[in-house]
Chain A
């Protein structure tokens, strides 16, 4: 069986994918992952997950190019300049 290994580098950090191990069961998978991804104290915690249990999603569409829910949908520079000029607070 193939198990995917995720490792946490320090407390509070996100778990990131490290690699995978082949093992006959979860107990061996944990031992192998511990050896390969933690023996030099490079991790504080590991998640060891059967590959079949990982459901990947890769389809992301944006046909309408909806910019109103992203920061690049808002360009304030020109408007701010105009507003400052109107208010008489624009720096010269």
Chain B
């Protein structure tokens, strides 16, 4: 098979296994995309980890711990797929802590209150699951297969987040204010999350059928699914232009693409601090890896 034949194959719904021939460009795009996903799972637990000790009840503490454990587990599954494509996990981690590799914009921001934890678990996870569900149809079959397990676990995370939000909304005026403030803080990053509205025919990740939907399609799906759920709680979305047109398309104020570019290139408010923590943990736990390897030898 040549590159043209391969392209036709994946575009007509064909799936590729690890040992199949694939063009170099496809392989490198896969590594880049999947590695970024793995990094995001690993970095995504850090904002939530900060709240395990401060969770309001034992039940919330346990649920949050389980969610953190799930996300780290996703990172493990995903890095394993990257390894089979030729890039070792140790290299992925080295590129992550050196700032060379990217991770999702939403994990570069601080969590100021318990309201942020609810908004992250509900809406950030909702935005992420839209991406991940579309990856169930990824042309690279080993990635599509692990996505099944990941989506299954993410659905509990969204319910957990929604439960946190509903509990706060049914609480005191002060608690409702906490949620509104968190939503106001997170709306910008949430609208940037799915990326700029590049036509999908020009998106290399779509051309190779690594992704099965365009950025704007994903954002529309997010708005359509979740804005009504936000509104019905009496919350205000901080975008005066937001409305659903008669033809079903959501209009919204232009997201701040400069902020997105700045944040994902390592200049977010919490980027340096979180990478520093990841770096320290990697050094601090080096002895565990050496003991495990020595034990097995």
Q: Is there a chain A Cβ closer than 8 Å to B146's Cβ?
A: yes
Smallest CB gap from A36: residue in B:
B73
A24 and B149 within 8 A (CB): no
| Segment among B29-37, B77-85, B132-140 that sits at the interface with chain A | B77-85
Within the complex, which residue of B83, B145, B297 is in contact with A22, where a contact is CB–CB below 8 Å? B83
**Number of contact residues on A: which range applies?**
10 to 19
Residues of A within 8 A of B296 (CB): 23-25, 27-28
B153 and A40 within 8 A (CB): yes
Interface residues of B in 133-178 (CB under 8 A from A): 142, 145-146, 149, 152-153
B292 and A28 within 8 A (CB): yes
Chain A 1-29 near chain B by CB (<8 Å), digits 1 or 0: 00000000000000001111111110110
Q: Is there a chain A Cβ closer than 8 Å to B76's Cβ?
A: yes
Q: Is there a chain B Cβ closer than 8 Å to A65's Cβ?
A: no
Alpha-carbon distance A90/B85, docked complex (angstroms): 61
Residues of B within 8 A of A22 (CB): 80, 83, 89
Residues of B within 8 A of A20 (CB): 80, 84
Alpha-carbon distance A24/B289, docked complex (angstroms): 10
Interface residues of A in 35-81 (CB under 8 A from B): 35-37, 39-40, 42, 56
Smallest CB gap from A37: residue in B:
B149
Residues of B within 8 A of A19 (CB): 77, 80, 142, 145-146, 149
Alpha-carbon distance A44/B47, docked complex (angstroms): 33
Alpha-carbon distance A36/B80, docked complex (angstroms): 12
Alpha-carbon distance A55/B84, docked complex (angstroms): 17
Chain A contact residues, CB within 8 Å of chain B: 17-25, 27-28, 35-37, 39-40, 42, 56
Given A21-B76, A21-B80, 20 additional A-B pairs, CB 8 A: A18-B145, A18-B149, A19-B77, A19-B145, A19-B146, A19-B149, A20-B80, A22-B80, A24-B292, A24-B293, A24-B295, A24-B296, A27-B296, A28-B296, A36-B73, A39-B69, A40-B153, A42-B149, A42-B152, A56-B19
